[in-house]
Amino acid sequence: MADSDTSHRTIAGEQGVWHPFLPGVTIKVLRERGGVMSYLLRLEPGAVLPRHRHPCDEECIVLEGCLRIGSQFEIGAGSYHLAHAGALHARITTDTGATIFLRGAVPHAEQVLE
């Protein structure tokens, strides 16, 4: 495969830039196209993602740590979570800190309900 081949894209773990997103949360955008984004979120211990709506399906894989979604359940490393379009997502917290991969709508402030 030639170095100029654009049919694939790889971003090594040390590549890319982490940006502040919410208190205790940073974001690293991997790809954005047509209103859909693939990105990583890194949550520090005690960080909170407020309640929010999903305009399109959003897929999440926990890479490290553990998340608590509302008071219903916890998901740990290797877990997959799908929030369907239109779904109200409960508050997400972490005691351990976590790194997650997400693919869904580009996050906007108007999606937050708290």
Per the confidence metrics, is the pTM higher than 0.75?
Answer: yes
User: What CA–CA distance (Å, rounded) separates 52 from 42?
Assistant: 18
Question: What is the chain's pLDDT, residue by residue, as a tens digit (114 residues)?
Answer: 455 677 887 777 787 899 998 899 999 999 988 889 899 999 999 999 888 787 889 999 999 999 999 887 899 999 999 989 888 888 899 999 999 999 998 875 544 445
The values of phi and psi at residue 111, to 5°, are -80, -20
Task: Parse the chain into domains and list their residue ranges.
Answer: 40-111
Q: What is the pLDDT of residue 113?
A: 43
Assigned CATH topology for domain 40-111: Jelly Rolls (2.60.120)
